[in-house]
């Protein structure tokens, strides 16, 4: 084979998608964690209030 | 929630490093394949993600069985983490395979056993999340999830064998018949280095992500528990 | 669960089958829905695929199996939803019988409904399209094996889906990807038979069909407990 076909475009697209998918997944996990932590704080505050009333 | 363990932080750093090295090996270090050109380089990540994808589904099925036997919710969190991370990796596998297939087979998609099985498996695990979403009781959710991962894990290999009756053009890179399939190639030693390092790197990243997902699951459970306490 | 099936196990299974069949004999709502639906699917296929003699050569098995799979989902959903809505399931679970007897009872009556539908649809298809090859015993055997596997998984999954919020919508989504092997192997085997393949030629899909049936009946039997327990 004398000439190597130029398929770099496909390669770049492939790696972009791979990294983007992993990035989006990590981001989604981070966001879910942040939301849960906020919920947890609110709930803990609520619980403390409830116990005080009693 | 307990603070982040040091080991996990170390694993995070290691994951980022091995991902970088794997990318370097795949994109720069490995020689350009002569027939297909640069697009062959997606193969390293394709096989790497496919490997952890499959690993995760096997792990999930085992975790499911263990949950059914022990009824310990920790196994349920383990199972969800494995399925979720694997579904993500398997998505990458399918997309990368498709991108490679375009120049190599001149089509984005073909109904080949591996491709079809991958697509069916991905659908099974999407169905898994839809099933879990429809159930409120966490204990029942865990039971049904475990049963479904078990069914999915058993049907996937049979799907593969059945579709193989139709026909295949997917190359088997490890093994003897590599050159026969369309787009097959044999690996040089530098390619093998990049290949095996990609397998290793994705295993590390997989463990890291799973660990994070399990911790997220525990946090979720804690919040659900607190919600019950507060509303009472 | 592992004890050898006792006479009471068979009795319990048969009692459930009898109950389902007797109820269906009175109302006929399930079978009539499945049958009308099957006829409509075939009608749509007829025009969508232009089922002339050349096309039929290659798609008859596929058309039939798609029809059976859709009609089967309809029946599975209904048969389990009835148990759930009328509170029969709770009654059955309280009864002092082995849980797996409930599974086999439901599976056998579901299978009976599916086979009845097939027993009406197949001759009708043969009549409409002059397809006498349908009546060879090995073809009917493949239909039976495929139906058994499909119903075994379907009964288990319908017991799960009726307990979820999205129930009716969920069953096909859960069932089809897991049932892909049984449907494809059946299409391959029955299609081969219709096109005059010898028995040796369809042996591989046939073996896979049997493997699938055995594995999934065993697994469904073992895990059914986990699906119905409260």
Which tens digits make up the pLDDT trace of B93-121? Answer: 999 888 888 887 778 887 777 888 888 99
Which tens digits make up the pLDDT trace of C43-83? Answer: 998 888 887 877 787 788 899 999 999 999 999 988 888 88
What is this structure's pTM?
0.86
**Residue C191 pLDDT:** 87
CB-count exposure of residue B187 (10 Å: 0-12, 13-18, 19+):
middle
**Residue C230 pLDDT:** 66
Task: Name the 3-class secondary structure at C166.
Answer: coil
Percent of chain C with pLDDT over 90: 38
Report CB contact under 8 Å: B99, A6. no
- Would you call C130 an interface residue with chain B, using a CB distance cutoff of 8 Å? no
Residue C31 pLDDT greater than 70, yes or no: yes
Task: Name the 3-class secondary structure at B37.
Answer: strand
**Residue B62 pLDDT:** 93
Residue A52 pLDDT greater than 70, yes or no: yes
What is the CA C34 to chain-centroid distance, rounded? 12
All residues of chain A having their beta carbon less than 8 Å from the beta carbon of residue B83 are none
Report CB contact under 8 Å: A17, B222. no
The interface pTM score, or ipTM, of the predicted complex is 0.87
* CA atoms within 13 Å, Cβ hemisphere of C54: 0
- Would you call B219 an interface residue with chain A, using a CB distance cutoff of 8 Å? yes
DSSP string, C186-203: HHHHHHHHHTT--TTTTH
The whole-chain average pLDDT of chain C stands at 87
Note whether A touches C: 3 CB pairs or more under 8 A.
Answer: no
- pLDDT tier at C114, thresholds 50, 70, 90: very high
**Residue B180 pLDDT:** 45
- How many angstroms separate the CA atoms of C225 and B71, rounded? 13
> Dihedral through CA B27, CA B30, CA B35, CA B37, nearest 10?
20
Report CB contact under 8 Å: C177, B123. yes
Question: Chains with 3 or more CB pairs closer than 8 angstroms to B?
Answer: A, C
Alpha-carbon radius of gyration of chain B? 20
Q: Name the DSSP letter for residue B188.
A: -
Residue B66 pLDDT greater than 90, yes or no: yes
Residue B176 pLDDT greater than 70, yes or no: no
- Would you call B122 an interface residue with chain A, using a CB distance cutoff of 8 Å? no
The mean per-residue pLDDT over the stretch C222-229 comes to 86
Residue C85 pLDDT greater than 60, yes or no: yes
- How many angstroms separate the CA atoms of B72 and C150, rounded? 31
Question: Chains with 3 or more CB pairs closer than 8 angstroms to C?
Answer: B
Domain ranges of chain C: 7-228
**Residue B175 pLDDT:** 46
């Amino acid at each position: 084979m004398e000439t190597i076909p130029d398929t770099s475009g496909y390669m770049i697209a492939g790696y972009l998608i791979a990294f983007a998918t992993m990035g989006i997944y990590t981001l989604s996990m981070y966001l879910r964690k942040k939301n849960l932590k906020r919920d947890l704080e609110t709930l803990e505050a609520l619980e403390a209030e409830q116990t005080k009333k009693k | 929630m307990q603070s982040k363990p040091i080991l996990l932080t170390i694993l995070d750093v290691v994951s980022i490093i091995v991902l970088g090295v794997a990318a370097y090996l795949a994109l720069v270090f490995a020689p350009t394949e002569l027939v297909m050109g640069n697009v062959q380089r997606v193969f390293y990540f394709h096989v790497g993600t496919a490997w952890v994808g499959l690993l995760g589904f096997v792990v999930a099925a085992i975790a499911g069985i263990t949950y059914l036997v022990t009824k310990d919710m920790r196994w349920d969190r383990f199972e969800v983490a494995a399925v979720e991370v694997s579904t993500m990796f398997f998505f990458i596998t399918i997309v990368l395979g498709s991108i490679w297939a375009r120049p190599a087979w001149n089509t984005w998609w073909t109904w080949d056993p591996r491709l079809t099985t991958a697509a069916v498996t991905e659908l099974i695990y999407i169905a898994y999340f839809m099933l879990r979403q429809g159930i409120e009781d966490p204990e029942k959710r865990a039971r049904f999830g475990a049963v479904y991962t078990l069914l999915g894990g058993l049907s996937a290999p049979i799907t593969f064998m059945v579709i193989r009756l139709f026909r295949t053009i997917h190359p088997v890179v490890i093994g003897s018949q590599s050159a026969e399939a369309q787009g097959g190639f044999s690996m040089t030693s530098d390619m093998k280095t990049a290949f095996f390092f990609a397998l290793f790197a994705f295993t590390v990243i997989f463990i890291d992500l799973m660990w994070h997902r399990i911790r997220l699951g525990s946090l979720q459970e804690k919040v659900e528990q607190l919600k019950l306490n507060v509303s009472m | 669960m592992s004890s050898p099936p006792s006479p009471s196990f068979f009795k319990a299974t048969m009692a459930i089958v009898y109950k389902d069949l007797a109820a269906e004999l009175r109302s006929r709502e399930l079978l009539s829905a499945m049958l009308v639906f099957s006829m409509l699917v075939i009608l749509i296929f007829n025009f969508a695929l232009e089922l002339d003699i050349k096309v039929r050569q290659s798609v008859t098995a596929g058309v039939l199996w798609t029809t059976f799979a859709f009609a089967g989902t309809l029946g599975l959903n209904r048969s389990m939803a009835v148990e759930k809505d009328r509170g029969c399931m709770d009654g059955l679970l309280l009864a002092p019988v082995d849980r797996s007897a409930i599974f086999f009872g439901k599976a056998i009556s579901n299978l009976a409904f599916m086979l009845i539908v097939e027993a009406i649809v197949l001759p009708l298809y043969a009549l409409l399209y002059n397809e006498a090859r349908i009546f060879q015993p090995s073809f009917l055997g493949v239909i039976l094996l495929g139906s058994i596997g499909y119903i075994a998984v379907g009964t288990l999954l319908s017991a799960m889906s009726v307990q979820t919020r999205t129930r009716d919508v969920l069953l096909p989504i859960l069932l089809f990807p897991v049932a892909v092997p049984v449907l494809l192997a059946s299409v391959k085997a029955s299609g081969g038979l219709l096109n005059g393949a010898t028995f040796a030629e369809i042996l591989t899909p046939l073996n896979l069909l049997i493997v699938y049936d055995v594995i999934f009946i065993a697994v469904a039997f073992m895990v059914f407990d986990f699906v119905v327990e409260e």
